[in-house]
Amino acid sequence: MSAPVPPRAASAPIVEVDNVSKWFGDVVAVSDLSFAIGPGVTALLGPNGAGKSTLLRMLCGLTPPDRGTVRVLGADPRTDLGVRARVSIVPQQEAMFDALDAHGFVRLAAVLNGVPNPDEVARWALQVVELDPDDRRRTTTYSKGMKQRVKVAQALVNDPAVMVLDEPLTGLDPRQRNHLIDLFGRLGEEGRCVIVSSHVLDEVERFGSRVLVVAQGRLAAAGDFHAIRELMDDRPHRIRVRTDKPRELATAVMSAVGALAVRLEPASAGRPGGFVVDTTDAPRFRRSIATVSQQVDAALLEVSPLDDDLDSVFRYLVQR
């Protein structure tokens, strides 16, 4: 795994992104991204606002890059109608055509792609996502999870070589999440290029795939998921401890837990004093802190991570 070096697809690339930047006014959404993706499932991981959706829209040609080039199947997805026939998207937004039921919506996608037997293909696609093709209710009456599945169904009808899925598991119950994760995996195994975005680390782990980590519009890391997971776990963690004996416990922690640094916090406004620890071995810290506090006869009032949210993980990856 190497963050700064643009990753290349192991086999012939289907999607090639070369020095791509995109900005909206003064806001840089994507900054100088380069990578190539081949067949199989690739997860695009990043916090909300990282530029994932903008990147996915550029891959589909829905918006042009301000700088750099995007090639899909060797052509520009923005201008080449032939590419559009082989690309499908599950967009993030919920809006669909209010006037249609699920079958009508998926059938329309088949018709617009020039698929023979659009009725039959639409029925098949809805069955693949475990929806009833004979349900004549308008999609406006559907739950969020059902709408997500309809959106996935419409993305299947054109036999796509490239599937772009923007947070496709949002709103699904656990069983349906498993079902769709399996489906995406099989589509990848068939040789399709399946690009799935998510801001949920555990979700990406289940795709068992290659990962592109995007943060603040930049490629923060790329490669095998497990390597990135290890990198995330190895980063320095910052943990706050509140206790009735902050100085004594801080001293004991420094020697016993392998802390990189300890900063005392005085008591204030009715809150007890404490300290903040920087450590590269958070699991060891969590295992040891209770024992160490007993040794110095200190009461543990609070132990809370200060940077365990995903945003801070991504920030760390960007700053490496």
* Interaction site with another protein (CB under 8 A): 11-14, 38-39, 57, 60-63, 72-75, 80-89, 91, 93, 95-100, 105, 108-109, 111-117, 120-121, 123-124, 127-128, 154, 156, 159-162, 182-183, 186-187, 190-193
Q: How many residues belong to the chain?
A: 320
CA 140/CA 152 separation, integer angstroms:
16
Residue number with CB closer to another protein (116 or 174): 116
**C-alpha 80, offset from chain centre:** 28
Which residue, chain included where needed, has tokens 């769709």?
180
CB of 45 to another protein, least distance (A): 22
Residue number with CB closer to another protein (154 or 293): 154
Residue 162, Cβ neighbours under 10 Å: how many?
22
Rg (CA), the chain: 24
Classify each residue of 230-265 as buried b or exposed e, where b means 16 or more C-beta atoms within 10 Å of its C-beta. Answer: ebbeebebbbebbbbbbeebbebbeebbebeebeeb
CB of 250 to another protein, least distance (A): 52
CB of 44 to another protein, least distance (A): 18
Residue number with CB closer to another protein (63 or 312): 63
Which residue, chain included where needed, has tokens 């909300």?
48
Residue number with CB closer to another protein (160 or 168): 160
Name the residue type at position 52: K
CB of 84 to another protein, least distance (A): 5
CB of 92 to another protein, least distance (A): 9
Pairing relation of β-strands 193-198 and 162-166?
A: parallel
Tokens of 113: 């792609």
CB of 171 to another protein, least distance (A): 16
264: Cβ–Cβ under 8 A, 6 or more apart, which residues?
246, 247, 250, 273, 274, 275
Residue number with CB closer to another protein (81 or 269): 81
CB of 254 to another protein, least distance (A): 53
Q: Decide if 163 contacts 187 (C-beta within 8 A).
A: yes
Residue number with CB closer to another protein (121 or 204): 121
Q: What is the DSSP letter of 77?
A: T
Residue number with CB closer to another protein (85 or 301): 85
Residue 104, Cβ neighbours under 10 Å: how many?
15
